[in-house]
Amino acid sequence: MQDGILRGNPAVQRRAMAKAITLLESSRADHREQADGLLTALLPHTGKAFRLGISGVPGVGKSTFIEALGLHLIGKGLRVAVLAIDPSSTVSGGSILGDKTRMEQLSMRMEAYIRPSPSSGTLGGVAEKTREAMLVCEAAGYDVVIVETVGVGQSEIAVHGMTDMFCVLQLPNAGDDLQAIKKGVMELADLVVINKADIDPNAATRAQAQITSSLRLLGMHGNPDHASAGALWQPRVIQISALLGQGVDAFWEAVSSFRDMQTTNGRLALRREKQSLAWMWERIDFGLKQAFRQHPQVKAMLPVLQDDVAAGRIAASTAARNLLLAQMQ
């Protein structure tokens, strides 16, 4: 499988990638062992792609934009992988992003690889599978890996935590902008893209000015990815029309200058380092919690203590301490 990923012709490579990602997504313990072996073998071949996160509310135009961007990049001789984290799949097994008819033109291109969101599990689990799928795409030589998510909740933080650059798509509508700023999402954004500028150019220009000044204010508090000495990236706001393909080249120029700056000032390497360590700790936390819940003594005590805490018979912290002590025995 690993040979197919690293050296196969395009058709062989695609099959090997799909097989590898299915293996990574499996929850069987023996599969997990194989998957870990595969990741270790692929790891030296990863890291060369640019990892681009794209978020936005349903309907903002993410798939239209990613398709236009993907085709633009293929035109430049690049290969593009598109992965997704769909928060709805983790809650209901449903899908906001997973529509099969999305990105029809891009999905027909040999230079593109599109994979829908892992379809179940906790958000942490889905994020982990997506990170691993990203490594498979990188080992297969894709130049740009786009990770798409919906502009709600924790999934944006997850995508921000695994990409080199995080872009937020916005509608040219001031109410929405304030919403996003309130939610703290704008603080994560390296680039804000106002889409559908063709519908109302004046509104788009107003939104651009408003978001630009909001980002300046946020910048004064400092985004840890942007704040430190040296040539630093100031988050930008651009207008596009994904439908008409307008502004896609300007978008890619902004991405390229971000990449150059972050490479030169060392922030790109630092961001990846932090992300890898945060990922490790997140999985340790998860693993410990799982082991904790499976401990026989804890299993026996948990229902009673939970009732006691709920009924106010014992303090939550005391119950937690008792359970932790039981697990250590």
Residues that bind ligand GDP (CB under 6 A): 56, 58-64, 195-196, 198-199, 241-243
261: which residues sit within 8 A by CB, 6+ positions away? 231, 232, 233, 267
What is the distance between the alpha carbons of residues 65 and 182, in angstroms, rounded to a whole number?
25
Strand 191-194 versus strand 144-150 pairing type: unpaired
H helix runs in the chain, sequence order = 2-7, 10-25, 29-42, 62-75, 87-92, 104-107, 123-139, 154-160, 174-183, 201-221, 248-264, 267-294, 296-310, 316-328
199 vs 269, which CB is nearer to ligand GDP? 199
What is the distance between the alpha carbons of residues 87 and 152, in angstroms, rounded to a whole number?
8
What is the distance between the alpha carbons of residues 145 and 137, in angstroms, rounded to a whole number?
7
Least distance from C-beta 197 to ligand GDP, angstroms?
7
What is the distance between the alpha carbons of residues 106 and 242, in angstroms, rounded to a whole number?
14
49 vs 171, which CB is nearer to ligand GDP? 171
Least distance from C-beta 146 to ligand GDP, angstroms?
12
54: which residues sit within 8 A by CB, 6+ positions away? 62, 65, 66, 146, 147, 148, 149, 159, 167, 169
Least distance from C-beta 177 to ligand GDP, angstroms?
16
Least distance from C-beta 150 to ligand GDP, angstroms?
8
Least distance from C-beta 203 to ligand GDP, angstroms?
12
195 vs 262, which CB is nearer to ligand GDP? 195
What is the distance between the alpha carbons of residues 138 and 141, in angstroms, rounded to a whole number?
5
13 vs 63, which CB is nearer to ligand GDP? 63
89 vs 262, which CB is nearer to ligand GDP? 89
What is the distance between the alpha carbons of residues 35 and 25, in angstroms, rounded to a whole number?
9
Q: Among candidates 290, 304, 39, 55, which has minimal Cα distance to 166? A: 55
Least distance from C-beta 306 to ligand GDP, angstroms?
40
31 vs 206, which CB is nearer to ligand GDP? 206
17 vs 159, which CB is nearer to ligand GDP? 159
Q: Of all residues in this chain, which one has the CB nearest to ligand GDP in the complex?
A: 61
Least distance from C-beta 196 to ligand GDP, angstroms?
4
